[in-house]
Amino acid sequence: MEKQKLRERIWDELEESGEARFPYPPHDRIPNFNGADEAANRLSENEAWQEADVIKSNPDSPQLPVRRAALRQGKTVYMAVPRLRDENCFLRLDPAEIDDIDHATTIGGSSEVGVQVGPDEMEPVDLIVSGSVAVNGDGARVGKGEGYSDLEFAILREFGLVDDDTTTVTTLHETQFVDREIPTTPQDVPIEWVFTPERSIRTEASARKPSGVAWEEVTDERIEAIPVLERLKGE
């Protein structure tokens, strides 16, 4: 599979170069990298970030500085519950309700202090931060391969919480920004901005984003495992 070959190449390069950071090794995960703080700083200087009040972020280690910056700047952060396994499938981190931001933005801390909410209880999302294994200049993204990031966007779209104007960004290492074609499908969410420790990149991503859940691509097993999908399918 072409995407898997690219994942393996990126993971190997980050490990062999010494640029990978804890958790280690980088394989089979959204890889943490040397310079994640600097990439987050570049994101925080972006106009779309500065105008955003509500952010949805992935929970992975390389985006930890992004989540901390958001809460410190008074932004509400939503994170998905692992594998969307609960009816209330998102965690809300409200800076007004959090005493220890450093703890709240870790994976364990967010589950302790975050408030689980369903999409009905969420505010519209201004900006989405996705974890990535690789992204190219067209904004095509490769994740871990499980498809949850794109599915989360689709669910939020079904509830009217995101649309074509919702800014999509990622932070990653220069190694992960690739000059090669990445195959995409209609349910893949394009990445509009890429932030590395060295630069900020506006991609050539299409302004159009997935219009909702592509039911023909979702297995019965996944629908049964994700309560909010069962609910949407039944409506």
> Which domains does the chain show, CATH number per domain?
33-234 (3.40.50.10420)
At 88, list the tokens.
């209330």
Q: Is the pLDDT of residue 27 over 90?
A: yes
Rounded Cα distance, 121 and 1, in Å: 39
What pLDDT is stored for residue 234 in this prediction? 79
- Residue 107: pLDDT band with limits 50, 70, 90: confident
Question: Which pTM does this prediction carry?
Answer: 0.96
Instruction: Tell me the average pLDDT across 148-163.
Output: 97
Could you report the per-residue pLDDT of 169-215, keeping only the tens digit for each? 999 999 999 999 999 998 999 999 999 999 999 999 988 999 999 99
Q: Strands of the chain (E only): list them.
A: 54-57, 76-80, 90-93, 115-117, 127-129, 134-136, 141-142, 167-171, 177-178, 193-195, 200-202
Q: Is the pLDDT of residue 235 over 80?
A: no
CA 134 to chain centre: 13
